[in-house]
Amino acid sequence: MKKRIAVLTGAGVSAESGLGTYRDNGGLWDNYDPMVVASAEGWARNPGLVLDFYNMQREKLREVQPNEAHRLIAALEKDYTVDVITQNVDNLHERAGSTHVVHLHGEATKVRPENTCNDYDGFSEKYVVDVGYDAVRLGDKAPNGAQYRPHIVFFGEAVPKIERAVELVAAADIVLIVGTSLQVYPAAGLYRYARPEAPIYLIDPADVTLCDSRVHHIKAVATKGMQEFVGMLK
């Protein structure tokens, strides 16, 4: 039976593909107010602005490729059962070959009717449509007549897949964290569900301080850190 690795990723794993992070200098939230473009209130107040923001995210995705870190994470599946639990809304893990990806905060290439708002039907795939990299505008409606909205967990909304993510982390033999500032809950608290005997590795070039003695910090960018991590597994 293959050992299980839970890989918790954030924007840092896609940084070397050319996608911006959120909170580094010059990050997305330096240029856009998340409460305007990525919150439930923002959607209620000005859905057109929110649609434009995610149209821009989708357009950027068309131009970028997975990087070596995505590929090395996917390659772990040869010897391990790998659960990627990402805060990212990009599709780079899938495009690099990862076959089990849980998107805690939704997916930029997908939309759903805006009236599927509760935990159950909001994330039940039957309403979700993959628009690829195409723009979605005000007036683009679902078969039920409701305006399409980004299939994103906005600030102020529940994270329907968090229970599943906790189960996957608690089942892991190894937990790997790549490229997240661990500032947004409940995603940021996931690593604490690791079993006591499960080693936790953190790949990040910044001085991320985790008050957990089990955490082994590989201070490097994702592509280099993943090479070092893979070497440690041998």
List residues with catalytic annotation. Answer: 105
Instruction: Enumerate residues 117-176 that contact ligand APR by CB under 6 A.
Output: none
Strand partners, 129: 111
Q: Please identify, among the stretches 14-22, 52-60, 119-127, 165-173, the one whose residues bind ligand APR according to the rule CB under 6 A.
A: 14-22
- Residue spans of alpha helices (H) in the chain: 12-15, 28-31, 34-37, 40-45, 47-63, 68-75, 92-96, 119-122, 162-170, 222-233
> Residue 144 Cβ, how far from ligand APR at the closest point, in Å?
27
- CB-nearer residue toward ligand APR: 33 or 138: 33
- CB-nearer residue toward ligand APR: 143 or 221: 221
**Residues 161 and 104: beta-carbon distance below 8 Å:** yes
What x/- string results for residues 187 through 226 when contact with ligand APR is judged by CB under 6 A? ----------------xxxx-x------------xx----
> Residue 153 Cβ, how far from ligand APR at the closest point, in Å?
7
Cα 129 to Cα 118: distance, rounded to the nearest angstrom: 17
Alpha-carbon dihedral angle through residues 83, 118, 112, 63, given to the nearest 10 degrees: -40
Q: Residue 147 carries which side chain, given as an amino acid letter?
A: Q
- Write 139-146 long-range contacts (CB < 8 A, 24+): 140/111, 141/113, 142/112, 142/113, 144/113, 144/115, 146/113, 146/114, 146/115, 146/116
> Residue 16 Cβ, how far from ligand APR at the closest point, in Å?
5
- CB-nearer residue toward ligand APR: 83 or 90: 90
CB atoms near residue 56 (< 10 Å) = 15
- CB-nearer residue toward ligand APR: 37 or 142: 37
Query: Closest residue (Cβ) to ligand APR?
Result: 12
User: Number of residues in contact with ligand APR, rule: CB under 6 A?
Assistant: 25
Helix (H, G, I), strand (E, B) or coil at 176: strand
Using the rule CB under 6 A, is 66 a contact of ligand APR? no
> Residue 139 Cβ, how far from ligand APR at the closest point, in Å?
27
- CB-nearer residue toward ligand APR: 51 or 153: 153
Contacting ligand APR (CB under 6 A), which of 15, 61, 111, 198? 15
Number of H helices, E strands in the chain: 10, 9
Cα 104 to Cα 10: distance, rounded to the nearest angstrom: 10
> Residue 69 Cβ, how far from ligand APR at the closest point, in Å?
7
Sites of contact with ligand APR (CB under 6 A): 10-12, 15-16, 21-24, 27, 34, 87, 105, 179-181, 183-184, 203-206, 208, 221-222
